[in-house]
Amino acid sequence: MTGKSATSRKMLLLAPLLLFLGLAYVVPFLGVVRWSFTLPEPGVGQYRALLTDPLVQSVFARTLRICLVVTAATLVMAYAIAYVWVRGSSVQRMLAEFCILVPFWISVLTRAFGWLAMLSNRGLINTWLQSAGIISEPLALARNELGVIIGMTHFLIPFAVFPIASAMRSIDERVLLAARGMGASRIRIFWTVFVPLTYGGLIGAALIVFVFALGFFVTPAILGGGRSVMVAELVYLRIFQSPDWGLGAAISVVLVLFIGVLLALMRRFIKPAHLVG
């Protein structure tokens, strides 16, 4: 009885949160699902359009491509920063922590415009390169996929650092000392012992970054300049500019379901292999 009463009290405490989540997320999402089947006319025509419309297919392909590149680039940079943060000297750790925390104080909109000022044809980078005589024509660094990838990667690095750093801090130093005592070099210890022990953090960071990247809107809209439209921007265009609420709702439903399936697969197949024990 004691266990049951404790469980009942916990559920009672969680009830307001569950009610809030239901009203704030589930109910609106069900409304979006209804739109996808009823607008502009009842049926599954909007979902059929997702499979046949070349524009929608190209946007989905571009989104997946950019998200994969951003995830890979973010993991590499976040791993280096996390390594310095965890295993560097006191000065290095302080600088790494500064680089990790300061971006959280700057809005995504400000950062996007900052990168646009850096990467545009008349931006700081192209102006400096042309003044130095290194290039004669400005490089295409913005209003394309490259600019979007740079801006998204910069924004997502801090989110990837924390799970990676947590995995690094959980490593038993005795394991590394044992490998060194057996004559392994520092490079071999890093690649064959240290990195495998942080797989859990890498997988968690990859999941966080990839899911966040799927829903990016502001950064691709500013740095892409309308030439690198991603799924979130396409939903906005269909809802507010076309307007084609049915197709926009169908795209939203597919995106949410895709993220849900991705989370389920990660939890089902990856967690037992790398995160348990």
Q: What are the structural domains, with CATH classification, of the chain?
A: 1-38 (no CATH), 53-275 (1.10.3720.10)
Q: Taking Cα atoms as reference points, which of 256, 223, 250, 217 lies closest to residue 236?
A: 217
- 218-256 pLDDT, tens per residue? 999 999 988 889 999 999 988 888 788 899 999 999 999
* Distance, first Cα to last Cα, the chain: 32
Q: What angle do CA 264, 202, 72 make, to 5 degrees?
A: 95
How many whole angstroms from its chain centre is CA 184? Answer: 36
User: What is d(CA 249, CA 231) in angstroms, rounded to the nearest whole number?
Assistant: 12
pLDDT at 18: 82
Tokens in use for 161? 């650092």
Q: Which residues contact 250 (CB under 8 A, 6 or more apart)?
A: 36, 46, 47, 49, 50
pLDDT at 7: 76
User: What is d(CA 17, CA 160) in angstroms, rounded to the nearest whole number?
Assistant: 27
User: What is d(CA 59, CA 237) in angstroms, rounded to the nearest whole number?
Assistant: 12
Low-confidence ranges of the chain (pLDDT < 70): 1-4, 268-277
HSE value, Cβ hemisphere, 13 Å, CA-based, for 168: 21
pLDDT at 70: 97
pLDDT at 226: 83
Rg (CA), the chain: 23
Locate all alpha helices (DSSP H) within the chain, ordered by sequence.
2-21, 27-38, 45-52, 54-87, 90-101, 108-119, 124-131, 145-169, 173-181, 186-189, 195-197, 199-214, 218-223, 231-240, 245-265
Q: Tell me which amino acid residue 140 is.
A: A
User: What is d(CA 83, CA 194) in angstroms, rounded to the nearest whole number?
Assistant: 10
Contact criterion met (CB below 8 Å) for 81 and 100: yes
Q: Taking Cα atoms as reference points, which of 70, 33, 107, 79 lies closest to residue 212?
A: 70
DSSP 175-201: HHHHHHHTT--HHHHIIIIIHHHTHHH
Q: Residue 117 to residues 99, 147, 151, 222, 226: CA-CA distances in angstroms?
A: 20, 11, 12, 11, 17
DSSP 224: S
Contact criterion met (CB below 8 Å) for 63 and 231: yes
pLDDT at 126: 93
Total-model pTM:
0.87
pLDDT at 9: 79
